[in-house]
Structure 1
Amino acid sequence: MLFGASNFTVLLVLIASCFAKKTTQESFTSKETLEQTFEQGTNSELLWAPYRSNCYFGIRPRFVDGTPFIFGLMWFDTTKFDSMTRLRHFVSDEDHLERFTWEAYDPRLGGRENIIDPENNLNLTIHFAKTHDDQNWIVRVNGKPLDPTLNTTTSVILYMNQNIGKDPEGPSRLMHINNGNTQDENTFEFTGISEDLGKYEVLINDNYGNYYTNDTLDSIEVVPGCNASRSSHVGLTIPDTEVWRARDIFQSLLTDSIKDIVKELGETIDSGLVPSVLTLRNLHEFDQGNFHYIQKTFDMREEKGFEFDVVYNNMDSTQTIDSGKQATKLINDAIYEINVRFDNHFDIEDTENTGDKRKFAMEVLGNLLGGIGYFHGTQVIDRETVLDEDQFESIKFEHFKEEGPYSLFTSVPSRGFFPRGFYWDEGFHLLQIMEYDFDLAFQIAVSWFNLIDENGWVAREVILGPEARSKVPQEFTIQSPQIANPPTLLLALSEMLTKLIENENELGFSHSVVDAEQEEGISSQLGSNFEYIIKYSKIIYPRLQSHFKWFTETQKGLIEEYLEDMEDDEQFQEVHQNFVYRWLGRTVTHCLPSGLDDYPRAEIPDVAELNVDALAWVGTMARSMKNIAHILGLEKDELQYAETERKIVENLDLLHWDSKTGTYCDVTLDAEGDDEMQRVCHEGYVSLLPFALKLMPRNSPKLKNLLTLMSDPEKLFSPFGLRSLSKQDEHFGAGENYWRGKIWMNINYLCLDAIQYYFPEVIAGSPETSELHDKEVSNMAKKLYNTLRENLINNVYGNWKETNYVYENYDPVDGHGTGSVQFTGWTSLIVNILRHQGL
């Protein structure tokens, strides 16, 4: 495994203890108390964070669905009339930011986000930190001009809303209480009450900064209420479901104000008044309401810039934030502890040889964690449309409706382009997150498993509510219970449990997890609450069973089409006919369910097509279920899943291995011939998945073939990582060119991990060596492992050094980043790979 040796051992001990068949009564003083302590502690620590992943900065509480408090941040330079086109709110590649990154982040503690916005001449740093009881938080916003000679402004718009919930007459409200009558008109105090959160206050205080002024004008108040030299406040009521439209509503209100100004003063307005013209006022005389805008416009002609704090205090807390000095200490303590935790888990040193790779790794991990969001709302589902042969041209889901509401706690692949939950991606995210915070990874996995419905289905994309749907093309919003996706959540679990079973005798179940935690500096409440995991596992196991059943039934292939033509083929007769699979929902051009969207398949789709990667993923599911059943002591289930895994492993060779090309291939009917079985071979990631998912026997002679394929620079090997498709394939780089040669971290990670699994001697100093392969093959594995690993690190790190970002994928020709920018989903697995640089 690419898990750290020592930390991974601790995790194994932890899981062993969590899933142990028997727990001694002496280990617990009160089961209910321990369960409550874990749940209350976790819910408290993870209550507040920037969980609105789609925003550059947006806060909402986790698990508060009825009456949450919502906070967000927007900004733009107001010196030009067209400035609103550069108003920032939702993360977007089209904003052309030079940088937006969490330099340090932990959802339990807080962090520091840095944003460099050249078009708005702004270097923005946002700190977020919480009190030790996790009830209160501070947001510190610091802005500096990139170039103070440009004479720009920075207008920051804060907005906050106390959702009313289902009862409009209920107590939930948010009121501005000082109404600008304090000595400082730029200081604000709000008081709020939420049925879910209780009573609280919000304080907004300036630390320093000069508001916009213009010495050439007698006054910059263009009309009453439009004065950029002081903060502006507008309160109104917005329906809970529309709060996410804060940017649109702001622009609409500001446009109304501008039109009124032009009507009153004419179109010729002094340029020095533009910042005031672009200041929001209460033109429509709204009542104060539950939704509030605060706009602060700072003069950016001095390098110092500005800084202000937003403080949220729960009135029942004994740890309220009462001073700027206290806020500074919370921020500094949070950053310090994040650094300590990171070093305890990854230990990546900056030396002459490694450069600033620690900073790189910390930012990549921070952005993965900073992309964790909490989503609540309805999902659009079509349960009626049946997929048949007509689907190959296009799939039309016309019988959809909204279901729910549902909730999901998840990381996202990319805050700018994919700010929602992806089943296919999340398992890879967890492989990274569990290295840093096992409890957090567990919470995310639990949230996903809770979405498995009574039929065993979970959507491939979980798009909850209008805010999440606003970032998704309409044709992709509808989810179908017939469409699957690679079950990577079970992959993550399987990887851990497989290693656990291999080390069960060595580790035992009596090892003291508390001692292990102290040795490794790992913080884990689960370490003292094994009973909770056992209890939950017994609850979730039937769901996993139904999910396995749903997957294997909906994706089952049609082997009958081949039986007559292959009746004389002895090898085919050995195929386990009930264990063949294909991706339902593929079209002529795409196979979205596979996750490898445009990877070439048979040119003419057929209902009898059998996909090697679908079979391999079912094998992974069977292995995972086998391991869970083993840990829970369910011997009958364990034998059943082991038998399924065995048959799938055999079918991979019997049905999908092509001796001519020496690789694994899809199977289909020859549409241009006599409907005979033929293998469709496109050397690339699909060919590697039986190896990457460790489904080949450890002594398989076919391993050499795949090592050769991965090592061939004319096919898959490149100076930047393994290509998704062979350079010699006719489809290489063609068409949409998404999975047709681009280098993707998730499959590269699996391949590195598999090399280490089959050839443990590739890790220097490893006590385990493989005696199943000759020296030539072992040396080939060592060379491939070391060069591939080095190439991946150098390329991803090099791109980050040059651009400040990591990417969705990388070009196979020159290695430059392509696809979505700041794709800190599975690309963050580079941190797992990097930590082994000293081995």
Structure 2
Amino acid sequence: MARDGVRRRPNLKQKDSYELSRENEDDDKKWPYSNGNLDPLAKAVGAAVVVVMTILITYFRYQQYLRDIIITPMDSPLIIPANSSTPAVNPDRFWGTYRPQAYFGIKSRSKTSPVFGLMWMTQLTNQMPPPLRHWCDQGDQLEGYVWQKHDGLNFGVQEIREKLYTIKTEFVKQPGGSHSGDWSARISFTPKNPSVPVVVSSFFYSALDVDNGRLEPKLTKGRLTSVHGWHEDLGDFELQMPNVAISAEAGKTGEKPQVQHSYFISYAQQLDQLKDIMVNGLKVEAWDKARTKPYFSLSGRRVPRDVPGPNFVVKQVTTQLPFTMEVLFQSGSFVNRGDQLSKEKFSALIQSKEEEFDAKFENIFHLKQKGYQPNEISFAKAALSNMLGGIGYFYGSSLVQSRYNKEPINYWEAPLYTAVPSRPFFPRGFLWDEGFHNMLISMWSPEISKDIIGHWMDLMNADGWIPREQILGSEARAKVPSEFVVQRNTNANPPTFFLPLQALIKEMIKSHKPQDKAYLKALYPRLKTWFNYYNTTQKGDLPFTYRWHGRDPTVTKQLNPLTLTSGLDDYPRASHPTTDERHVDLRCWIALAAGVMADIARSLGQDWQEYKNTYALLTDNKLLDELHWSSQGQQYSDWGLHTDKARLEKPKPPPNHHPSQRPPPMDTDKIRVILSEPSKQFVNAFGYVSLFPFLLKIVDADSPKLDTILSDLTNPTKLWTDFGLRSISRNSKFYGRFNSEHDPPYWRGAIWINMNYLCLSALYHYSSVEGPYMDKAKTVYTDLRKNLVTNIFKEYERTGYIWENYNDKTGEGKGSHPFTGWSALVVLIMAETF
């Protein structure tokens, strides 16, 4: 690098290399010091240099600040302290089925917990190799898998239905020692038709997340009988794998069923690689003496030489059904356990936990008292249990980006304890889903719910933003398409946590418990910052208006640009996104939040009047009507630059193309063609968005507009069906239409349970407050509730699943399944808990 014109100040300690002389007149001219005085010109230049350098340093520091703010945690004490998930502080929730993406997976609430889990395959089939089950996958086409009972803490009983057999997984814990005690699992395989022989391999494994512990397999006469281990958060532990129990029905009469044992000891760089590594460790062996029936078994020890040791150990048992196997995790610090948690002791403890679950369920939801039949109550227990069994514990960092970052960067690493919407399709945390989840979870266990909400709030950055989709850890990221991984801080999501917080806060205020007071004090500053984020970044151009950011005005392949941030993805908004559009649902969400904030602030002795004033303004029906009531459509509506007259067409070939020349490559996907220029207007697409002032109980009970809404709800040409309320009116031009050539309608006709729950909650409210429409609201409430419960239960009985949404014409389940996120709100609908 050229250094001309750069002068170095003398090092006065090194006179041999730089002799300072004042005898030479030329030196005085070169060096701008004379008799200790600075030359005026040099002084001015020096001052200017200092100013410029200060400006540059300030500028670059500010630019770095802008780049870093997205990954700067909020400066406030954590709601969930860093040690809160340790066995010493919270032993009850330390171990659990916290790997919801696996059919059966166990881990602890530790940053790098060892993981345990089940894989299986049906042997002696025509497929080579047979399908290996591990992660929940709709492509497996199982007839069902459902946690029949799960209390979120101590035990769970699950049934998995293959075409030829059923798998029952049972899990239970017992406390003891300083590392949260022991747990055991029992896995039973039962053929549906005992006369049809079925041979199955069960694989139970243990694996370390990273090199922070050790696994030492123990072999007895060539069989894997246990794994000794050590982990920094667990100390010493042992996973025992005793012999399987074979039913006398297996095999021919008088013959002892054939049982094959094998094992696999290897190393995995990441947890999402376990299945692939094990498949590569399979070998073919002969099942029968004639060597005509091959089966697949594990190939023993395969540990690379360049690793510290094995971190992935699997035991395989292959036999004809039925058979049962048990695995026992024993903590090294549990020294006075008495009998092992196995066999009769296991059965007795499971039975005791089930009886406790049944009693607690009836005490909370009163379904037997309400006259529901046993099979309906079992369905409701399964819906709740799948919500609780779908709670996971994740650790890692989101990939995020702001407009100041050229490339995505990593958020800070953090834990997340959260339920998931769907084990096979969405096995990760979603911000707006989780608020609905905790409407149910908080009824069952306020402590679990407060723990979940605290974990989410601790993910807030200095601006008050929380990444709306949490993809933490290698297992979670492996299930997400790359285009959805990066989270952008301009994009909000409905603040649905204020829904469960309404009830939770009232109970915490009543309790007068010191821990509840401490929780509220830690929660309040984060909620305050969160509220400010919504109230500033999502505000509209006019006072008291709001708009969802993240809509792309440049898209050409969508009939109506998506509004993913609203949660209602393809629900039709203004066709041409602009900064001055107004979204009625977001306005209502912020009104709800302002009311809850006022309650919290008042209970803590904080300034609550500002929140109360905001709530009053946002719930003022006159102002709401001025901004969002369409006199033409007679409905509440969004407002923006819009036209309904558009369609998707194949693009035309470029003009002036000579027939003898090869045409240039072109994108053949359909593009949007505008048939009539848009204008500023109300978006009169009647549906869920139009209902929000009603759904969140903002419409006055004596308002004639409430009468109009109730009439529209029951109109079969609009939202009413025999199965629930459809998401958009059949009269809408967007009803049932694809939003792009490849994207079928999502929120354009289907019945969604979270919105129907909010509707029932509103109907329940308006049927109980004084007003001219009380009786009308009660009638609609009764009929809608019956339709919803009847259809969801019917589809569960028919298909074995609770579904993401339901067809508005047939009532058939649609979308991902099982979807025991907000669709599990059917339990609260049955219980009439709103």
Q: Normalised by the shorter chain, which TM-score bucket?
A: 0.7 to 0.9
Matched residue type, 1:147: N
1:542 to 507, 525, 537: 525
Bigger radius of gyration, 1 or 2? Answer: 2
Say whether the 8 Å CA contact 1:98–1:117 is kept in structure 2: yes
Choose which of 682, 687, 690 in structure 2 pairs with 1:684.
687
How much does 1:279 deviate?
A: 3.7
The aligned counterpart of 2:199 is 153
Task: Report the Cα distance in structure 2 between the residues aligned to 1:690 and 1:427, rounded to whole angstroms.
Answer: 19
Matched ranges for 1:284-299 at <5 A: 289-299=310-320
Look up the equivalent residue of 2:789 and give its one-letter code.
I
Q: What TM-score does the superposition give when structure 2 sets the normalisation length?
A: 0.79
- 1:307 matches 2:354: no
- Whole-Å Cα distance in 2 between the matches of residues 833 and 212 of structure 1? 44
Decide whether the 8 Å contact of 1:494 with 1:620 is kept in 2: no
- 1:315-373 CA deviation, whole Å, 9 max, x = no partner? 21133652422222222222222222212212222998635111110111111111000
8 Å contact from structure 2 (residues 87, 94) kept in 1: no
- For residues 124 and 291 of structure 2, the distance between their equivalents in structure 1, rounded to whole angstroms, comes to 8
**Which residue in 2 is equivalent to 1:124?**
167
Hey, what does 2:265 align to over in structure 1?
Answer: 235
Q: 1:669 to 1:334 in 2, by over 3 A?
A: same
Q: Is 1:72 matched up with 2:93?
A: no
Residue matched to 1:175? 216
Q: Residues 409-459 of structure 1: CA distance to partner in whole angstroms, max 9, x if unpaired?
A: 000111011100010100111001111111111111111111111111101
Closer, same or farther: CA 279–212 of 1 in aligned 2, 3 Å: farther
Residues 89-168 of structure 1: matches in 2 within 5 Å? 89-118=134-163, 121-133=164-176, 134-165=180-211
Distance verdict in 2 for CA 1:649–1:352, change over 3 Å? closer
Distance in structure 2 (CA, Å) of the matches to 1:244 and 1:273: 32
In the TM superposition, residue 107 of structure 1 has moved relative to its aligned partner by 2.2
Q: What is the rounded CA distance, in whole Å, between the counterparts of 2:788 and 2:619 in structure 1?
A: 30
**Per the alignment, in what secondary structure is the counterpart of residue 712 of structure 1?**
coil
Q: How does 1:402-481 map to 2 (within 5 A)?
A: 402-481=410-489
Find the partner of 1:616 among 580, 585, 588.
588
> Within 2, Cα distance between the matches of 1:213 and 1:611?
63
The offset of 1:163, in angstroms, is 4.2
For 2:575 and 2:133, the matched residues in 1 are separated by 44
Aligned ranges 1:343-382 → 2 under 5 Å? 343-349=362-368, 354=373, 356-382=375-401
> Normalized against structure 1, the TM-score is what?
0.78
Shift of 1:40: 6.8
Q: Greater RCO between the two (CA within 8 Å, min separation 6)?
A: 1
CA contact (8 A) 1:187 1:205 kept: no
Return closer, same or farther for 1:97/1:489 CA change in 2, 3 Å cut-off: same
Q: Distance in 2 between matches of 1:800 and 1:213?
A: 32
Q: Secondary structure at the match of 1:536?
A: helix
C-alpha spacing 1:41/1:718, structure 2 compared with 1 (3 Å): farther
The equivalences for 1:633-644 within 5 A come to: 633-634=605-606, 636=607, 638-644=608-614
In structure 2, give the amino acid aligned to 1:370: G
Q: CA deviation at 1:284?
A: 6.8
Q: Evaluate the alpha carbon distance shift between residue 665 and residue 379 of structure 1 in structure 2; reply closer, same or farther with a 3 A threshold.
A: same
* Compared CA separation, residues 829 and 724, structure 1 to 2 (3 A): same
Residues 518-552 of structure 1: per-residue CA shift (max 9 Å, x gap): xxxxxxxxxxx811121222122111111111122
In structure 2, distance between residues paired with 1:800 and 1:36: 41
Query: Matched residue pairs, number?
Result: 696
Q: 1:316 aligns with which of 309, 327, 333?
A: 333
Deviations 1:243-302 (A, max 9, x none): 232111111222xx45xx8xxx9xx99664412x444333678796232011111123xx
Give the SS at the match of 2:759: helix
Whole-Å Cα distance in 2 between the matches of residues 350 and 209 of structure 1?
A: 42
Deviation at residue 818 of structure 1 after TM alignment: 0.6
Moved more, 658-667 or 203-212: 203-212
Q: Which amino acid aligns with 2:820?
A: T
**Residue of structure 2 aligned with 1:653, choices 601, 617, 625:** 625
The Cα offsets for residues 776-807 of structure 1, whole Å up to 9 and x where unpaired, read as x2221111010001111111111111112111
Deviations 1:147-204 (A, max 9, x none): 34443311011110244545xxxxx212123x223xxx65612221111111111111
Which residue, 234, 246, 249 being the options, matches 2:277? 249
Deviates more, 1:206-215 or 1:228-237: 206-215
Q: 1:447 to 1:142 in 2, by over 3 A?
A: same
Q: Deviations over 1:695-722 (max 9, x none)?
A: 2233333211111111212211111111
| Alignment-mate amino acid for residue 228 of structure 2 | T
Are 1:747 and 2:784 matched, yes or no?
Answer: no
Is 1:706 aligned with 2:709? Answer: yes
Moved more, 602-611 or 482-491: 602-611
1:410, 1:491 → 2: CA distance?
16
Secondary structure in 2 matching 1:87: coil
CA-CA distance at 1:37 after TM superposition: 11
What do the CA deviations read for 1:569-617 (whole angstroms, capped 9, x no partner)?
A: xxxxxxxx2x211111124431100101111112222232111111111
Residues 164 and 593 (structure 1), Cα distance of their counterparts in 2 relative to 1, 3 Å cut: closer
- The amino acid across from 1:655 in the alignment is L
Percent identity over the alignment? 33
Indicate conservation of the 8 Å contact 1:372/1:410, yes or no: yes
SS of 1:821's partner is coil
Residues 187 and 326 in structure 2, CA contact (< 8 A), matched pair in contact too: yes
- State how far apart, in whole Å, the 1-side matches of 2:710 and 2:171 are: 47
Do the aligned residues in 1 keep the contact of 2:224 with 2:262 (CA within 8 Å)? no
How far apart are residue 479 of structure 1 and its match? 0.5
1:274 to 294, 304, 314: 294
Gaps spanning 5+ residues in structure 1: where? 1-34, 167-171, 221-227, 387-397, 514-528, 560-576, 761-769
Q: Residue type of the partner of 1:537?
A: L
CA displacement 1:607-630 (0-9 Å, x = unmatched) = 321111111111122112111112
Q: Which residue pairs with 1:518 in the alignment? A: none
Cα 1:213–1:97 shift into 2, 3 Å: closer
* Aligned equivalents of 1:631, 1:137: Cα separation in 2: 41
**More moved, 318-327 vs 707-716:** 318-327
d(CA) in 2 for partners of 1:187, 1:278: 14
Residue 590 in 1 paired to residue 562 in 2? yes
Give the secondary-structure state (helix, strand or coil) at the position aligned to 1:472.
coil
- 1:789 paired with 2:754, answer no
Distance 1:204 1:458 in 2: 43
Structure 1 SS opposite 2:704: coil
| 8 A contact 1:154–1:297 mirrored in 2 | yes
**RMSD of the TM alignment (CA)?**
3.0
Summarize the Cα distance change of 1:794–1:586 in structure 2 as closer, same or farther, 3 Å threshold: same
